[in-house]
Amino acid sequence: MLAVKDVSLTFNEGTPDEKRALENIQLELAAGDFVTVIGSNGAGKSTLMNVISGVLAPDIGHVTISEQNVTSLPEYKRSGYIGRVFQDPMAGTSPSMTIEENLAIAYSRNKKRTLRLGVTKKRRETFKEALATLHLGLENRLNASVGLLSGGERQALSLLMATFTDPNILLLDEHTAALDPSRAELITNLTREVVERTKLTTLMVTHNMQQALDLGNRLIMMDKGQIILDVSGQEKEALTIEKLLQAFQDIRGSKMDNDRAILG
């Protein structure tokens, strides 16, 4: 479904600020894979997501989605295949527009945008049904401005919008990190539900190791721009936080330097 081949990316090449963010990344996701991604700060997780979604172009290597090479496809075109939820709850929705207008935008993702009304009676029903799956009562607030929603509600709406039109791939970059624990749990559960129901091929970055272990069928660990661990199936089921930390130490010869990850 998704393949990242030989991808390397260096920021500010040839300057004192030079930073090798991705080094020879090889990653292949089968249809329906739900992969969680962990790794210390600056490991290159967000950069990898940005290369997949087309925000950044890799220096070398390429990205294919459903057998199609998309490396040179601009971000807005690639978005037709990719649903995304960002870390910042403000980033995934348009605050001055209403809930139904935001959903209408998501609805048009893989279609040509025309001069027909974005919100029609028929669509409104579809939107209501979809919102009801969030169990937040948003289906009764279709005309509320999204800017008035709480961070958790906005993130739930973002998740719904990202998955609304069945994209080929779902990218989640620490999408629960900016929420308080109870809301983070709500979004985590929603994510599990949505991915199970839609069977979306998903890549989820998280700092919360427990979350990375609980969710998905596969886990990868990144460090210094490389994928240093890739476990799936039974092996992943058997993983614990201690084993993960031990694995990191075995591979890197040093302790993982990320308190947030351990505590998370």
Partner 1 sequence: MFISIFGAVESGVIYAILALGVYISFRVLDFPDLTVDGSFVTGAAVAAVAITHDIPTILATLLAIFAGFIAGTLTGILNTKGKINPLLSGILMMTALYSINLRIMGRVSNIPLLSETTIFTQLKQAWTNAGIDTALSSILTSLGVERVPGTWATLMVMALVTLIIKLITDFYLKTEMGLALRATGDNERMIRSFSANTDHLKIIGLGLSNALVALSGALYGQYAGFADLNMGIGMIVIGLASVIIGESIVGTKSITRTTFAVIVGAIVYRVVVTLALRSTFLDTGDMKLITSFLVIIALIVPKMINNHKELKRKRKKRLALEQRLKGSA
Ligand X SMILES: Nc1ncnc2c1ncn2[C@@H]1O[C@H](COP(=O)(O)OP(=O)(O)OP(=O)(O)O)[C@@H](O)[C@H]1O
- Interface residues for Mg ion in 46-75 (CB under 5 A)? 46
Task: Report the relative pairing of strands 169-173 and 218-223 from DSSP bridges.
Answer: unpaired
Of 110, 168, 198, 217, the one binding partner 1 (CB under 8 A) is 110
Give whichever of 95 and 137 is closer to partner 1, judged by the CB atom: 95
Is residue 137 involved in binding partner 1 (CB under 8 A)? no
Q: Site for partner 1 (CB under 8 A): which residue of 15, 96, 182, 254?
A: 96
Helix (H) or strand (E) holding 39: strand 34-39
Out of 42, 61, 80, 151, the only residue in the binding site for partner 1 (CB under 8 A) is: 80
- Give the one residue of 64, 79, 217, 232 binding partner 1; rule: CB under 8 A: 79
Among 7, 44, 82, 229, binds ligand X (CB under 6 A): 44
CB closer to partner 1, 107 vs 248: 107
* CB neighbourhood size of 239 (10 A): 16
Q: In this structure, are residues 135 and 174 in contact, taking their beta carbons and an 8 Å threshold?
A: no
58 binds ligand X (CB under 6 A): no
Site string for ligand X, 12-31 (x = CB under 6 A): x------x-x----------
The encoded tokens of residue 170 equal 């779902």
Q: Which residues, in sequence order, are CB contacts of 118 under 8 Å at separation 6+? A: 101, 104, 105, 107, 108
**CB neighbour class for 74 (10 Å; exposed up to 12, middle 13-18, buried from 19):** exposed
Which DSSP letter does residue 183 get? H
Give the range of 45-53, 73-81, 138-146, 195-203 binding Mg ion by CB under 5 A. Answer: 45-53
Name the residue nearer to ligand X (CB basis): 11 or 185.
Answer: 11
Partner from ligand X, partner 1, Mg ion, none contacting 115, C-beta within 5 to 8 A by type: partner 1
Question: How far lies 37's CA from each of 9, 75, 180, in Å?
Answer: 18, 22, 21
Query: Which of 246-255's residues contact partners 24+ apart within 8 Å by CB, and which partners?
Result: 247/221, 248/221, 248/223, 251/223, 252/223, 252/228
Measured from each CB, the residue nearest to Mg ion is: 46
Q: For the window 154-193, what string marks contact with partner 1 as x by the rule CB under 8 A?
A: -------xx-------------------------------
Q: What torsion do the CA atoms of 153, 157, 162, 164 make, to the nearest 10 degrees?
A: 150
From 41, 57, 77, 235, residue interacting with partner 1 (rule: CB under 8 A): 77
Q: How far apart are CA 72 and CA 22, in angstroms?
A: 18
Q: Please choose which of ligand X, Mg ion, partner 1, none residue 80 contacts, taking the beta carbon within 5 to 8 angstroms, the exact cut-off set by kind.
A: partner 1
Q: How far is the CB of 222 from ligand X (least distance, A)?
A: 6
Binding-site ranges for ligand X (CB under 6 A): 11-12, 19, 21, 39, 41-47
